[in-house]
Structure 1
């Protein structure tokens, strides 16, 4: 098979007897050079015209780390994985696999699916209509499925699932979080249909709605209700990877959607069956099935008008891409007869999932690689920004807050990078906006970054003098004071003992306690020394303010005991309490 990135743009080819829904993309495992084993095998996305036959394009997914991408391979003998989904807007495919080079296995030659999730990450890839590929999203540890089976995307976020992870997701480049379920769940196929996220599962959550709409956090499962009669119900042992909902009855829809007809690739019935269900307003009622041994992937295309228009189904098994037309009414029994073969898998390869080919995108698809979400960057340190940008790109910029956009430079593959200066920026949270354009349409992605005080210094706020960032020379004792955030201060009378610190702000306020036993102190700010007398006839608060002009930068201060006093004082002590930095 060819390995060049050939555009996936759908054509108008038609095959009226079988499939007329446009071009199809099939997830293929193996390159045909050797038989499939437990080890990692290369993955290809093969594109077929509606009439079937040989693929008119084949896109090889990465098998090594390069150009910002990770490998995306599949376990050769793990037929539960490799589902393929198209985004709701039709612009992107989501594809899953393992960050492993071909030949990688689990421990002692076991299946790749048994590999350590901390060292062999699970990958969520995104592919656009131009054949642009990004496989930089890698899930590891507890947020990674043991067997990653499927994912969905909207072009800026992803949702992924499999064995022992629940459903996890995030914005591309963000930190993954559990959206629904837990490590006890064994889930199969995600999809977004009629604006609603669905999943299938093994035994539990066999076919379920996930939250409301397409949730990004704290969602729960709601299993599809089955008819009360056993032979009409969704089976309790249903095992499905591919399934497709269709709107065929006007005014009827399940759970706030427009969906009322369901086709299921049922791997638990005999050697595999294609099942049909109809929603009657309360339950999903079985409407017949046909044998399709090895059935796995499934995608639907409705033709004609409701309720009697036909539904065309594209189906995958490990060995073939098939087509089946259900010409019965919405509530009628699935049309009998075996599916028609559109294409067959070559020797030493297997088909997994199937999806409609993505269509042209409205502008590039862009998402962050760095910095990480909510990253902290010390002021004065440039932000290393990078993004993966797919599509016909004419320019990429990054803008920090209201600052001037910085043009990014294109590197290898789809990676764009830029260095964003932070010199003179105030401490706080900023929006870092990524912008990519194809000359006609501009897309943006925003990430929040925190600018902190330069390393070793403190930013805005009030700090106890005992803060560990302030370095003491010599021994200082502790005293109680209400003038410090931690109610403790430091004091000594020994000359030349000191406290040194660094601040980042426009104003520095040093707080001391006046006492009858207090002496004099040198306050040295940015190398300029001022002598202050801290004697007082009673205990009281004393502050000394230093105002900085010009651009924000790091400033130094030293509190140095003079070892001298006025004649009225009973001692030479310096009582230091707090440091305040003002914007």
Structure 2
């Protein structure tokens, strides 16, 4: 039998790829509503118990006790931090045996590292409101959130005793994914929702159901958002519905989450998963009808995001007598929820990048387009007119920036192209304003983070069109969930003072976002620190790095944009072209597309992180031979789910609306 490790003893690291179950009870005492000890049980993917880590049951200095109700199945929703480095574990700051512990107030949060170290220095006084404490989450191991039946959601920091109550909704699971805080609840039709924008820490936050209101009429507990198709944003949602006894699947289609079947798991409350081999691999826990037993199960869904859930559920482990399972999470060190677990144990971040430096010099000559030479129109005649610029495809939705201060939400037109969405005020696009409702951003680029459009749409702007002679090089975030005809930025990162001066119409054009999990995995080098990029050094941010392209210089810059409004430049990259009009991160190929317009004869270049841990030129491509030298300022790449017979769609936007069309479609080998 695997040994039980004690918190505070010698730390032993978790094995990446394993899963960790929140277990209540030590097998010696029957489980009731009194406080019981908590253990973290590590299981291999095949269901073998690797070890058990006992959490503290007594206070000693900065170490505090952490216990749970022996019979409350809604508790114990541990999660993996947004950066994948820690488990965040909720419990009560009460001694084992405390009567009716769920009617007490004080909460202990544990941060458990990939090396097995346990920090229980965080005690949130008077949070629970005499009701269950249920879940906990973190973006980086320092900024923490806790959820409860009466406590709503509280925000705190590691080692603190105070908290800020963000919302007083009845909340179950809470987690950070792709730089966005999410929550689940079965009260007031909430379902699975975003909480504010990004990772909020102030009071008065609102919960907003994901589009389509998945599980708003169900009984949701744990949930996981995955990017199955590889678009770079979530396209599949799985939810543990306890009353139904099912894992429910929802696929993102046309910007809305739609039910795509389910798999039965009795009394399921805990859920986690990742994408492996292009499929969703899920792990689920149930606590039995009385909350005093437990199962650990797994299922692999090989179906596409918008197809009915497939696979057979396999039970991996069952709780023994006088023990119960609660939540489940991937082992820390896996790179964040939804990512593929690595196959080797975590190590100290390397001082030299893990990849082999290129053995040949970078390319200097353009080669033919890596797809079909044919290009067709992808819109009706004169729908947009001139000035259509940046593009970003989010599954069945195309976001388009028009540099007259407008944002479009496009949907498929049934002929392989796109048309304006006529719902929620999008029919003529929506006018953009700077924070406070003033001005008109000259928006050129558009992108999303790992949270998808639910976490906000980000645009790059080179100036205020109401004062067109002055540069204002900014990235702006917009909440696109409303139905009004105008959008006011919820945040602006004005980079003007940090960048070399350029003409007011030669500023930021393209913008794209690259997840922290990828950058840390390849040993990306941070120019601001001179060392390997460490996301935790930058506090609460979107879970990735924004890269912006400058038209006037052909430079690409990487920025960490913090939730506070602060920013840090961590990369400066020469594209080798006279100008940059568009940037597009292609996660399936781990490359960044850098696109120039007719100034460079429509040349496209790609950048990859090389053996030095920096983005370097990897290819130079001519435009497709069947496309004239149009003034293309936007470019988007479809996800891997659209790869058919080795080819997938790409799209361009033409700022000049040549031949009365602003959108064109081509193909790319995949």
Task: Give the TM-score, by structure 1 length.
Answer: 0.53
Asked if the contact 1:4–1:60 (Cα under 8 Å) also holds between the matched residues in 2, the reply is yes
Shift in Å, 1:130: 2.0
1:536-581 C-alpha deviation (Å, 9 max, x unpaired): xxxxxxxxxxxxxxxxxxxxxxxxxxxxxxxxxxxxxxxxxxxxxx
The residue that corresponds to 2:147 in the other structure is 161
Q: CA separation in 2, counterparts of 1:315 and 1:114? A: 27
1:327, 1:335 within 8 Å by CA — same for their partners in 2? yes
Contact 1:80 1:188 in 2 (8 A): yes
Q: For the structure 1 residues 58 and 143, does the alpha-carbon distance in structure 2 shift closer, same or farther, using more than 3 Å as the test?
A: closer
Q: 1:484-540: CA deviations, max 9, x gaps?
A: xxxxxxxxxxxxxxxxxxxxxxxxxxxxxxxxxxxxxxxxxxxxxxxxxxxxxxxxx
The alpha-carbon deviation at position 333 of structure 1 amounts to 0.3
1:64 maps to 2:58: yes
Match of 1:293 among 266, 284, 292: 266
| Alignment partner, residue 124 of structure 2 | 139
- Which residue of the partner structure matches residue 203 of structure 1? 187
In structure 1, the partner of 2:279 is 310
Superposed displacement of residue 282, structure 1: 2.7
Q: C-alpha distance in 2, partners of 1:68/1:287?
A: 47
Aligned to 1:96: 90
Structure 1 residue 445: Cα displacement: 11
Q: Spell out the pairing of 1:352-391 with structure 2 (5 A cutoff).
A: 352-359=326-333, 360=346
SS at the partner of 2:102?
helix
1:62-93 superposed Cα distances (whole Å, 9 cap, x missing partner) = 11112421110000001100011111221111
Structural mapping, 1:424-463, within 5 Å: none
Closer, same or farther in 2 for the Cα pair 1:46/1:250, shift >3 Å? closer
Displacement of 1:40 after TM fit? 0.5
* Mapped contact 2:14–2:115 kept (Cα < 8 A): no
In the alignment of these two chains, the number of paired residues is: 331
* 1:277 has 2:250 as partner: yes
Q: State the SS of the aligned residue for 1:113.
A: helix
Taking a change above 3 Å as real, the CA distance of residues 145 and 302 of structure 1, as seen in their structure-2 partners, is farther
In structure 1, the residue matched to 2:22 is 27
Shift of 1:240: 1.6
Q: 1:172 corresponds to which residue?
A: 158
Task: State the alpha-carbon separation in 1 of the partners of residues 198 and 321 from structure 2.
Answer: 42
Q: 1:330 to 1:113 in 2, by over 3 A?
A: same
Looking at structure 2, the residues matched to 145 and 137 of structure 1 have their Cα atoms a distance apart, in angstroms, of 19
Equivalent residue for 2:45? 50
Larger relative contact order (CA 8 Å, sep ≥ 6)? 2
| 3-state secondary structure, aligned to 2:5 | coil
| Aligned partners of 2:107 and 2:127 also within 8 Å | no
1-side partners of 2:127 and 2:297: how far apart? 37
The CA distance in 2 between the partners of 1:141 and 1:300, in whole Å, is 33
In 2, Cα distance between the equivalents of 1:74 and 1:7?
A: 23
Indicate conservation of the 8 Å contact 2:269/2:326, yes or no: yes
Structure possessing the higher radius of gyration over alpha carbons? 1
1:334 pairs, out of 293, 309, 319, with 309
CA change 1:165–1:9 in 2 (3 A) is same
Which residue in the other structure is 1:548 paired with?
A: none
Alpha-carbon contact 2:122-2:161 (below 8 Å) kept = no
Equivalent residue, structure 1, for 2:322: 348
Q: What TM-score, normalized to structure 2?
A: 0.47
1:224-243 equivalences under 5 Å are 224-226=210-212, 234-243=214-223
Aligned partners of 2:241 and 2:268 also within 8 Å: yes
Per-residue CA shift, 1:219-266, capped at 9, x if unaligned?
32111122xxxxxx7344322221111112354x8xxxx111111111
Q: 1:259 to 1:88 in 2, by over 3 A?
A: same
Distance 1:52 1:100, change over 3 A: same
- Once the two structures are TM-superposed, the CA of residue 144 in structure 1 deviates from its matched residue by 5.8
| d(CA) in 2 for partners of 1:25, 1:44 | 10
Q: Report the equivalent of 2:455.
A: none
Q: Does 1:264 align with 2:239?
A: yes
Unaligned runs of 5+ in 2: 288-293, 334-345, 350-533, 540-670
Over aligned residue pairs, what C-alpha RMSD do you find?
A: 2.6
How many angstroms apart in 2 are the aligned matches of 1:91 and 1:142? 26
> Which residue pairs with 1:4 in the alignment?
5
Once residues 322 and 59 of structure 2 are traced to their aligned partners in structure 1, the CA distance between those partners, rounded to angstroms, is 25
CA distance in structure 2 between the partners assigned to 1:191 and 1:145 by the alignment: 22
Q: Report if the CA contact (8 A) 1:26-1:354 is conserved.
A: yes
Label 1:361 to 1:37 Cα distance change in 2 as closer, same or farther (>3 A): farther
Correspondent of 2:167 among 161, 170, 181: 181
Q: Distance in 2 between matches of 1:172 and 1:28?
A: 23
For residue 142 of structure 1, report the CA deviation from its aligned partner: 5.1
Q: Secondary structure at the match of 1:4?
A: strand
CA distance in 2, matches of 1:260, 1:225: 12
Q: How big is the shift at 1:178?
A: 2.9
Q: For the residues of structure 2 that align with 1:361 and 1:165, how far apart are their CA atoms?
A: 37
Partner of 2:610: none
Residue 37, structure 1, aligned to residue 32, structure 2: yes
Separation in 1, partners of 2:134, 2:536? 30
Distance in 2 (alpha carbons) for counterparts of 1:160 and 1:357 = 20
